[in-house]
Amino acid sequence: MGTGLEEAWQNLTLTEDEEKTVTVDDEEDLAKDEQIALCLLGRLHTDISFNTRAMKSILRNVWKPSKGLVIRDLDSNLFVFQFFNHADKEYVLNEGPWAFDGHILLLKQMSGLEIPSEVVFTTACFWVKAYDVPGKKQTTSFARALASNVGALVSYDESTTLGIDKALCFRVDIDVTKPLRLPDFCYDCGKLGHVLKGCETVEAEEGDLDLQYGAWLRASPMKSRRRNMESQLAEEKRLFRASRS
């Protein structure tokens, strides 16, 4: 059937009027720019069907946007999240990753010029903790160096580079198409988006499979410190600046 449609399309010709192009003035629409600046594109990292209505309801309840939230379907498993103030949008971006039904939600900021259906979602932002780092290495530059071996650095927790702390904390964009040692991943191929039961690379064998990954690699969630520690961080910065003067 597909071949027949392609042949029919090749035989289609346009009239002179139909071949006319439409020229659009590239005028800035400030109102539309503001709307787009408060939007996020999202896709659930899975190829299996899921309850879209339940996902929307749960995300609204978890995010609790102060100014409301509109979620629209752009395509199959492609959504736009319209926020109405920057604080709500930044909260969702900074406090993730988010998940529904065991599948991670991949988010991207919008420029307004992309074709939504052609946007490729390959990364997710995670907090990473590096424990037992020598005191002299608890610096911003070392945090950047560590992050570069995991993914693309997004930000770091400034409080963990002030003086000595138990761990350096930084956020990185990680390629979810590669094997990861994170929660909710396949113990056979090591990738996100499915578990062992749905993995295409698992060989049909009797008895236990010889898997290099396992539950022992699952990471414990990192509780956000941002909202509760802003005043404490400001005081720590003041003390360290005072010690240098």
Inside any domain, residue 96: yes
Same domain, 42 and 60: yes
Q: What is the pLDDT of residues 131-178, one digit of tens each?
A: 999 999 999 899 899 998 888 888 888 888 888 888 888 999 989 888
Residue 116 has pLDDT above 50, yes or no: yes
Write 186-190 long-range contacts (CB < 8 A, 24+). Answer: 186/213, 187/211, 187/213, 187/214, 187/215, 188/213
Which residues pair with residue 136 across a beta bridge? none
The DSSP symbol for 126 reads E
Residue 56 lies in a domain: yes
| Predicted local distance difference test score (pLDDT) of residue 105 | 94
Neighbours of 40 (CB within 10 A): 18
Residue 157 in any domain: the answer is yes
- Do 183 and 159 share a structural domain? no
The residue ranking higher by pLDDT, 223 or 143, is: 143
Which amino acid is it at 136?
K
Q: Do 35 and 94 fall within a single domain?
A: yes
Question: pLDDT tens, 184-212?
Answer: 567 777 776 676 666 777 664 444 567 77
pLDDT, residue 77, reads: 94
Q: Looking at the domain assignment, is residue 218 inside a domain?
A: yes
| CB proximity list for 111: less than 8 A, separation 6 or greater | 36
Higher pLDDT, 19 or 220: 19
Would 5 be classed as within a structural domain? Answer: no
* Same domain assignment for residues 161 and 185: no
- Round the average pLDDT of the chain to a whole number and report it: 80
Q: Is the pLDDT of residue 69 over 60?
A: yes
pLDDT > 60? residue 91: yes
Buried b / exposed e over 193-214, threshold 16 CB at 10 Å, is bbeeeeeeeeeeeeeeeeeebe
Considering the domain architecture, whether residues 36 and 107 belong to the same structural domain is answered as yes
Domain of 35? 31-113
Q: Return the structure tokens found at 101.
A: 């039904």
What's the confidence (pLDDT) of residue 206? 40
Do 170 and 188 sit in the same domain of this protein?
A: no
Q: Which of 122, 108, 61, 48 is nearest to 80 (CA)?
A: 108
Burial of 147 (0-12, 13-18, 19+ CB in 10 A): buried
CA distance 167 to 49: 39
> Cα 90 vs. chain centroid, distance in angstroms?
12
Residue 165 lies in a domain: yes
Q: Is 16 among the domain residues? A: no
| Same domain for 89 and 49 | yes
- 37 shares a domain with 101: yes
The confidence band for 31, taking pLDDT boundaries of 50, 70 and 90, is: confident
Prior bond of 97 cis (ω within 30°)? yes
The CATH code of the domain that includes 64 is: 3.30.70.330
The alpha helices in the chain, defined as continuous H runs, are 2-10, 30-37, 52-63, 86-94, 140-148, 226-244
Same domain, yes or no: 149 and 80: no
Q: How many domains does the chain have?
A: 3
In a domain, 237, yes or no: no
86, pLDDT greater than 90: yes
Tell me which residue of 131, 157, 138 sits closest to 226, measured CA to CA. Answer: 157
The DSSP string of 50-84 is --HHHHHHHHHHHH--TT-EEEEEEETTEEEEEES
Shared-domain flag, residues 54 and 39:
yes
Same domain, 192 and 165: no
Tell me how far apart the alpha carbons of residues 192 and 184 are, in angstroms, rounded to a whole number. 7
